[in-house]
Structure 1
Amino acid sequence: MRYIKKIPSTDKELSEKLISEGWEKIKEPSNLGIATLLSVPFMLINGIISIVILFFLYHPLQEFIYNSKQGFNISFTINQSTLIYVVIFFLFMIIHEFLHACFIPNFLKSEKTYWGINGLFGFVYTTEKIKKSRFLIISIMPFLLLSIILPFILKDLGWLNEFTIFLCFVNSVGSCVDCLNICIVGIQVPNNSYIVNNGFETYFK
């Protein structure tokens, strides 16, 4: 796995080669902005799932929701603790991306798998040929591990609090594009097919 500054753009020659070899292009959003817009329904669904889980695990959240009619105040002060929280939030988002990478076959030795940081967020990108079932696992694992399973672990460890709840919830709604990709691939790609990325284009055969 190698470091790159940004996700590579689509190689038109490679696209033509893939098509000539029998690969078919998946119908998908042409850029991240459109993908994010189309993933809003998944954002809502993921958020509801996360809130339901956290509601039953964290009693203060129940009290907050039941007493929300009374109103609440939010104060924000920048201090050393705030900066620590920002760093932890950033690392949590990086963990999300590396969980994607961990399920890419031989990701550490792969010459076709890359990682990088784009603004405040990290990303993982691969041009490895991946089986459909593995692609679905790669896509869902950060949501499953960080927003579904992790809250139960934090509860048992006594580490479930407002900040860790916030992290799990943000990861949940932030996984909406992953869920959109799962839906697109699940519908368009036949079982036992392979998937390969070329920039922002995806092909299957």
Structure 2
Amino acid sequence: MDTIKFTTKIPKFNEQTHIELLNDDWKQLKEPKSLTNAMLLSMPFMVINALISMGIIYFFSTFSLKKFSFISGDSFVITIDLGVFVAMVLVIVIHEFFHLIFIPNFLKSGDTVIGLTFYGAFVHTEQTVTKDRFLLITIAPFLFLSVFFPLFLSILGILTGKMLVFIILNSLGASLDILGFFLVLVQIPRNAVVRNNGTRTYWKMRKQ
């Protein structure tokens, strides 16, 4: 029986799979050719994501940034201590969990892997899914952890400095996700299915 797999390597592009997909009318998404290019293109989304989360907190919360240990007068100071390190690890784990749970039947999917590399953790699937499901998988960590979560905490008045660290770190870390989200949103028609081959993305129209 197929089950989800664990790996310490980034999924590789398979040339034979690429040829088979093209022969089966799949089209390749236009996306950055390397991780470095993707990270550079995603940098504006770091700022946008953080501003969205901070905006939600500003408008719906009584939490004051002046009470936050990162703010000293007019300066923004970050001290890396054990608490910040733990927060970063938790962000990575919970962020990837929210990708994972929206993959269909992920526990029994032999096409889905959970990875841990020098660059961090990741979730990768080569399942064929609808465009809407692909977009949900991609945006879920940002949507739930950096939009809904701060909104919920703000409305209840229980937002803390440590929670703010978690929320902002997740917003920054979701920049590549949001880049991928918009690439798929803009280039792929609504009634299409999507799948990955390593780091490359493909789509074709869904059979009626």
TM-score range, shorter chain: 0.7 to 0.9
Q: Distance in 1 between matches of 2:56 and 2:76?
A: 24
Aligned residue in 2 for 1:187: 186
**8 A contact 1:30–1:200 mirrored in 2:** no
Aligned residue in 2 for 1:12: 15
Helix, strand or coil at the partner of 1:203: strand
Q: Distance in 2 between matches of 1:163 and 1:146?
A: 14
Q: Distance in 2 between matches of 1:182 and 1:14?
A: 23
State yes or no: 1:40 paired with 2:43: yes
Aligned residue in 2 for 1:24: 27
Aligned residue in 1 for 2:175: 176
- CA displacement 1:164-193 (0-9 Å, x = unmatched): 101101111221111111111111111111
AA in 2 matched with 1:107: F
Could you tell me which runs of 5 or more consecutive residues in structure 1 were left unpaired when the two chains were aligned. none
Whose helix proportion is higher, 1 or 2?
Answer: 1
Q: Distance in 1 between matches of 2:77 and 2:171?
A: 22
- Per the TM alignment, residue 89 of structure 1 is displaced from its structure 2 partner at its CA by 2.3
Helix, strand or coil at the partner of 1:52: helix
- CA displacement 1:19-42 (0-9 Å, x = unmatched): 011111111011221111111222
In the TM superposition, 1:1-205 aligns within 5 A as: 1-56=4-59, 57-61=61-65, 63=66, 70-72=73-75, 74=77, 76=79, 82-119=81-118, 121-155=120-154, 159-205=158-204
Q: Distance in 2 between matches of 1:6 and 1:172?
A: 25
**8 A contact 1:43–1:176 mirrored in 2:** yes
Question: Quick one: structure 1 residues 174 and 13, their matched pair in 2 at CA, closer, same or farther if it must change by over 3 Å?
Answer: same
Aligned length: 198
- CA displacement 1:138-175 (0-9 Å, x = unmatched): 11111011001112333466652222101101111221
Q: Distance in 2 between matches of 1:69 and 1:98?
A: 34
Could you tell me which runs of 5 or more consecutive residues in structure 2 were left unpaired when the two chains were aligned. none
Q: TM-score, normalised by structure 2?
A: 0.86
Q: Distance in 2 between matches of 1:60 and 1:43?
A: 22
- Per the TM alignment, residue 75 of structure 1 is displaced from its structure 2 partner at its CA by 7.4
- CA displacement 1:33-92 (0-9 Å, x = unmatched): 11111112222211111111122324322x469xx794348474x7xxx43542242022
Helix, strand or coil at the partner of 2:195: strand
**8 A contact 2:62–2:157 mirrored in 1:** no
Q: Distance in 1 between matches of 2:160 and 2:118?
A: 28
Which segment is superposed worse, 171-180 or 125-134? 171-180
**8 A contact 1:42–1:179 mirrored in 2:** yes
Q: Distance in 2 between matches of 1:127 and 1:72?
A: 45
Identity %, equivalent residues: 38
Q: Distance in 2 between matches of 1:73 and 1:29?
A: 33
- Per the TM alignment, residue 121 of structure 1 is displaced from its structure 2 partner at its CA by 2.2
Q: Distance in 2 between matches of 1:5 and 1:117?
A: 5
Question: Quick one: structure 1 residues 153 and 32, their matched pair in 2 at CA, closer, same or farther if it must change by over 3 Å?
Answer: same
